Amino acid sequence: MRWVRGLRRQETTPSRLISVTLLTGLTLAITFILPPVANSQLAGGAAITIVILGLSWLIGWSGQISLGNSGFMAVGAYAAGIWAHHHATTPLLFTFALATVVGGLSGLVVAIPSTRLRGPYLAGMTLAFSAAITPLAQNFSSVTGGEGGIFFNTLTTPAWFQHLFSGVDATINANAQWTADLAVVTAGLTFFIMANLFHSRTGRAMRLVRDNDVAAELMGVNLSRTRTFAFVIAASYAGLGGALFSLINATVRPETFPLTLSITLLTLMVLGGIGTLSGAVIGGIVYSFSTNLVSHINSLTGVNPASNLGANMQGIIFGVLLILTMLFAPRGIAGLGIKAMNLRHSRPVLASDENVN
């Protein structure tokens, strides 16, 4: 099957568009058979997938460490929430664009001094940024709503979509599926953009800076500009993901984006596969249905969900999964799939294969 391998090597923008469209369409079809709770979970996972895509670009392709993505999510969420709270009739596309731009600008502010830092110093600075967001949101209560946050509901299900459902729970089913479909389409669009970024000239320069910054500089790559661009893109994706996450929940509050969320995002990225597109999708899926897994484990072990152990069970499970992944699959779940495909394609060519080709 040599021609199949040839097609895999010749990736073009139209082929990526077709692949993303098929994947998005398949996911949209699945939402028609999922119950409302699962659709709501899928919507949240799609928002997290967007954030992981940006984080994978920053860490996996530019080699920079960030623990501040929960802060970038909060910036985008508050930008969308404040605007939607005062301008409820604004098109949703504008709200998303605003959150993306504001998130990118916050990334630019952090990136300017961060490009001079490396390793734990860079991680410490981004962590400090993330830690500062919650006190700021609490102190500027006249704008952010303080501890109570901002409540808004701008995800209105169109009438034509509601007509597709019938029965007692028609409204609930329609609202949950519309939210999931909107989140899936948004994630699909960001997936396509990131796929092209990965294979663009900028993406190749990013990998060169990650692997050998001296060689990159000798080849004319502006290190500071390239690293700054990586931060801006990652923060833009986090801002959009945070806005979508807050719109799905119809609220944005300081405790929605704690420091532990940044650790969770890093864990999900490692589980899925650092620097891979499919790894971000896997991480989002794991996040989507992690609540079900936690509930199942609590019921099997008899742990009270309201206890300290039960409340921290998700973090414990993610920690165990992270350790197992680093021990047995350092490249994540996506890396296991790639390895299996490579082993299959590298097997000796048999006479029967030659006859097929």
**Per-residue pLDDT tens over the stretch 24-66:** 999 999 999 999 999 999 999 999 999 999 999 999 888 888 8
pLDDT value at residue 332: 85
pLDDT value at residue 347: 56
To which residue do tokens 């650790």 refer?
263
Using CA atoms of 44, 49, 50, 55 in order, give the dihedral in degrees to the nearest 10: 130
More confident position, 8 or 39: 39
pLDDT value at residue 168: 80
Residue 9 CB contacts under 8 Å (≥ 6 apart), including other chains: none
Q: What is the mean pLDDT of residues 243-260?
A: 90
Dihedral (CA of 272, 274, 276, 277) sign: positive
* 8, pLDDT greater than 80: no
Given pLDDT bands bounded at 50, 70 and 90, which one contains residue 290? confident
Dump pLDDT digits (tens) for 122-179: 888 888 888 888 888 888 888 888 888 898 877 888 889 988 888 888 888 999 999 9
CATH code for the domain in which residue 329 is found? 1.10.3470
Number of C-beta neighbours around residue 214 at 10 A: 9
* DSSP 3-state of 197: helix
Under DSSP, the state recorded for 180 is H
What share of the chain has pLDDT > 70, as a percent? 92
pLDDT value at residue 169: 85
pTM for the structure as a whole? 0.89
160-169, 221-230, 236-245, 333-342: which has the minimum mean pLDDT?
333-342
More confident position, 74 or 66: 74
Q: Where is mean pLDDT largest: 23-32, 121-130, 220-229, 284-293?
A: 23-32
How big is the chain, counted in residues? Answer: 357
Under DSSP, the state recorded for 199 is T
Average pLDDT of the chain is 85
Domains of the chain: total = 1
Instruction: Residue 180: give the domain boundaries.
Output: 2-356
